Structure 1
Amino acid sequence: MTDLHVRDVDPEVVAALKAMAARQGRSMSQVHRELLERALRPDKRSLAAHLLTIPEVGCDEDFERVDEPPRDVFD
């Protein structure tokens, strides 16, 4: 892995990072890496995981297919 050094970080941001790491019982480096990964990498969840986040609304009958003759949409 490559090292990343960030200069001139606001002391309040550093303090917040330290506090977050302490609350989670992890190092500042671990928390920093996770924050960077979340911000810069695309969501790695599977399609199934995304679909499971869709709320359950309506009844099956609401989505029933209605067999009708095709319409001419250009008239």
Structure 2
Amino acid sequence: MADLLVRGVDDDLVQALKKRAGAHGRSQEAELRVILASVLLSPPRRNLAELLAAMPDVGVDADFQRQSDHAAAPDVFN
């Protein structure tokens, strides 16, 4: 396993790391490992265009048109 040294970290970030590590019951070093792994080893997020392009074709646009508001609503309480 390699060692990593990061210099010049903002004091606010260090305090936030301490708080987060304490909340999770871990050392700062262990918390940093978790953060790095979750960000760098997770699958990349897709943008909206990619998500929309991946949606299956489920019908024609007419299938999703609004019903006429002029039709009388059924009385469901009687």
Structure 1 length-normalised TM: 0.54
The alignment-based identity, stated in percent, is 41
CA RMSD of aligned residues (A): 1.3
Within 5 Å, which residues of 2 pair with 1:35-74?
35-43=35-43
Structure 1 stretches of 5 or more lacking a match? 44-62, 64-75
- Number of positions where the alignment pairs a residue of Structure 1 with one of Structure 2: 44
- For 2:32, give the aligned amino acid: H
Letter of the 2:5 partner, please give it.
H
Which of structure 1's runs of 4+ aligned residues deviate more than 3 A?
Answer: none
Q: Which runs of 5+ in 2 are unaligned?
A: 44-57, 59-78
Q: TM-score, normalised by structure 2?
A: 0.52
- Flag the structure with larger Rg: 2
How big is the shift at 1:42? 3.1
Q: Deviations over 1:21-75 (max 9, x none)?
A: 11111100111001001111134xxxxxxxxxxxxxxxxxxx9xxxxxxxxxxxx
